[in-house]
Amino acid sequence: MSEYLDHAGAGVSIGLVETRNFTFADPPGEIILESGSRLGPVTIAYETYGRLNREKDNAILICHALSGDAHVAGYHDPEDTKPGWWEHMVGPGKGIDTNRYFVICSNILGSCMGSTGPCTCNPNTAEPYALDFPVVTIGDMVNVQKALVHFLGIDVLHAVVGGSIGGMQVLEWCVRFPEMVKSAIPLATTIRHSALAIAFNEVARQAIMADPNWNNGKYYDGPKPDLGLAVARMIGHITYLSDDSMRHKFGRRLQDKSDFSFNFDADFQVESYLRYQGKKFVERFDANSFLYITKAADYFDLAREYGDGSDVDAFSGATAKVLLISFTSDWLYPTYQSRDIVKALKKNGLDVSFCEIEAKWGHDAFLLPNERMTSMIKGFLSHVGD
C-alpha cells in the first residue's frame, strides 16, 4: 500500500485500501445467536491497515457506529474524493498509528455494508432475508468480530476502540472476552440506553414501518421505504448534534430566500440540511438494517446480561486498561453515563482514565478532528502494558 498526502492536504494517508470478506459458519455449523436462532453462512466485510508484527500483539480493533462501515481510513480508488470515516485518526503517525499497529475494522453483523444482514440473500429461499433475518444483539456482533480476529491469527488485541454503538461493542468485548483485550477506548457511549434514547429510536423505526413502501420488510424487488428511512435519519441526526452546534451552524437563517415562503417548503437552513441528510442516507443504507441495529442498541445492557442488575458486577471479570472519553455537549449519551461506567470499573480495581472533552458539536464530536482526543488516544495506546 502506498502512502500519500490525503486529498485535503491534512497529512499522510494510509493510501489505497481494499475491503475483504470473511465467510464462516456454513451449515450445519451455524452460529447460535443470543435469541437462540441459528445463522449461517455469515460473511463479514473488513479492512486492515498496517502490519501485524511477529509476536502478533500489536492489533487494534476499531468498532463503528450505527451507519458506519469497515472503511475507517484510506481510499478505495485514486479518484476517491472522500476517505474512510476516521481518516484523521487512523494512519501513519496519527492517533492510531498504522506505522506501529495493525488496525482492523469490520462491518457489524446486521448491517448492509458488506456483512450479513436483512438485505443479504437467504440461502434457504434465494431471496433477501428481510424480516426473516433474526434479531441480533451487540453480543452477537462481538462474537462475529472474535471469529474474524481469530481468522487473522490474533489471540490478544492491543486495544479495542469505538464510539457510540461502537463503544457498546468495546464494553462488550471487555466483559465477554477479557482474556483477549489488553486495553479499551470507549468513546461517547453508555452501558445502556436511557428511555430517551430508546424513544428516539422507536420513533425512527415507526417512521420506516409507516412508509407504505416498507411492505413488512419485503421491498427489495420494488420501491423502497425511502421517505420513512429519510425521516428516521433526520430524527437520528438531531440527536447527534447539540443546541450549540445547531445555533452555530444554522440559527434561524433562511435557505436561499429573503422571506418566508408561506408554504411547507424548507424555509430554514436547518430544514434544508436535515432533508439533505435524509436523502443522502437513503442512497447508501438499508431501512431494515436500521431497524435491526437500533434494536440491538436498545437491548444492550451489560448489567442485565452479566451483572444481575449491577454495573459493578457486570465488569467483575474485566481486566483491560481503559480510557473512557465523553463530550460536554453530548445529550444522547451525556457525561453522567460515562461517569457511571468509570465508577463501576474503578470498584473492580481496574486501571481507568477518564476525560470529558469540551466540544460543542454534540454526540458526533467523537467523529470530528480534535487535537486533545487524538493526543490522549495516541499517548494511551503507547503506554498499554506499562
> What is the average per-residue pLDDT within 195-212?
98
Task: Tell me: pLDDT of 17 over 90.
Answer: yes
Active site residues: 164, 330, 363
Q: Please tell me what DSSP assigns to residue 363.
A: G
Residue 6, pLDDT score: 46
Task: Lowest mean pLDDT of 148-157, 256-265, 329-338, name the range.
Answer: 256-265
* Percent over 70 (pLDDT), the chain: 97
Q: Is pLDDT larger for residue 201 or for residue 4?
A: 201
Q: What is the mean pLDDT of residues 3-15?
A: 61
> CA torsion 325→201→295→192, rounded to 10°?
40
| Per-residue pLDDT, 11 | 62
Q: What is the pTM of this model?
A: 0.95
Residue 82 has pLDDT above 50, yes or no: yes
Q: What is the pLDDT of residue 9?
A: 39
Is the backbone peptide bond immediately before 225 cis, with ω within 30 degrees of 0? no
Find out whether 121 and 220 touch, Cβ atoms under 8 Å.
no
**Cell representation of residue 229:** 428511512
CA distances (Å), origin 357, targets 43, 70, 194, 375: 37, 26, 21, 12
DSSP classification of residue 136: -
Cα 342 to Cα 359: distance, rounded to the nearest angstrom: 20
- For residue 249, give Cα distances in angstroms to 146, 166, 269: 40, 27, 9
Residue 385 has pLDDT above 90, yes or no: no
How confident is the model at residue 257, as a pLDDT? 87
Tens of pLDDT, residues 267-324: 999 999 999 999 999 999 999 999 999 999 999 999 998 877 899 999 999 999 999 9
For residue 30, give the DSSP letter: P
Domains of the chain by start residue, with CATH:
4-193+302-382 (3.40.50.1820), 194-299 (1.10.1740.110)
d(CA 276, CA 135): 30
What distance in Å separates the CA atoms of residue 205 and residue 183, rounded to the nearest whole number?
34
Rg (CA), the chain: 21
Q: How confident is the model at residue 20 (pLDDT cuts 50, 70, 90)?
A: very high
135-189 pLDDT, tens digit per residue, is 999 999 999 999 999 999 999 999 999 999 999 999 999 999 999 999 999 999 9
Quote the mean pLDDT of the chain. Answer: 95
Beta-bridged to residue 285, according to DSSP, are none
Residue 49 has pLDDT above 60, yes or no: yes
| pLDDT classification of 254: cutoffs 50, 70, 90 | very high
Amino acid at position 325, single letter: I
* Contact yes or no for 271/278 (Cβ under 8 A): no
Return the pLDDT at 308.
Answer: 79
CA pair distance 168, 91, nearest whole angstrom: 24
342 contacts 355 by C-beta, under 8 angstroms: no
